[in-house]
Amino acid sequence: MVNIKKIFISAGESSGDIYGARLAMSFKGLYNDVKLYGMGLNRMKAAGVQIADCAKKHSVMGITEIITSLYANYTNIKKCAEVIESENIDAVVLIDYAGFNLKLAEAARRLEKRVFYFIPPKLWAWGAFRMPGLKKNVDKIYSIFEFENDFFTKNQANSVFLGHPIFDIIKLSGFDYDDYLLNAKKCAGAYCGACAKESPTAGAGSLKEKYGVKNKVILMPGSRKSEISTLLPVIIESAEAVNKLYRTDAGGLEFILPIAPSTDETLVKRYLKRAKFDYRFLYSDFDKYKAFSEAVFAMVASGTATLELALFGVPMVILYKVAALTELAGRFLLKTRYIGLPNILAKTLVVPELVQRQATCENIIYHASKLIPAGHLRQTATGSLLKTADYLKYERGRSPSDHVAADIYSEIGGCFESDKQVL
Q: What is the mean pLDDT of residues 272-298?
A: 96
122-136 pLDDT, tens digit each: 998 877 889 999 999
Asked if 236 and 271 count as a contact pair (C-beta separation under 8 A), the reply is yes
In the CATH hierarchy, which fold is given to the domain comprising 173-391?
A: Rossmann fold (3.40.50)
pLDDT at 2: 64
Let me know if the fold of 5-164+396-411 is the same as that of 173-391: yes
Going from N- to C-terminal start, the domains of the chain cover 5-164+396-411, 173-391
pLDDT at 86: 96
Tell me the pTM: 0.87
pLDDT at 272: 97
CATH number for region 5-164+396-411: 3.40.50.2000
pLDDT at 207: 56
The band of 161, judged by pLDDT with boundaries at 50, 70 and 90, is: very high
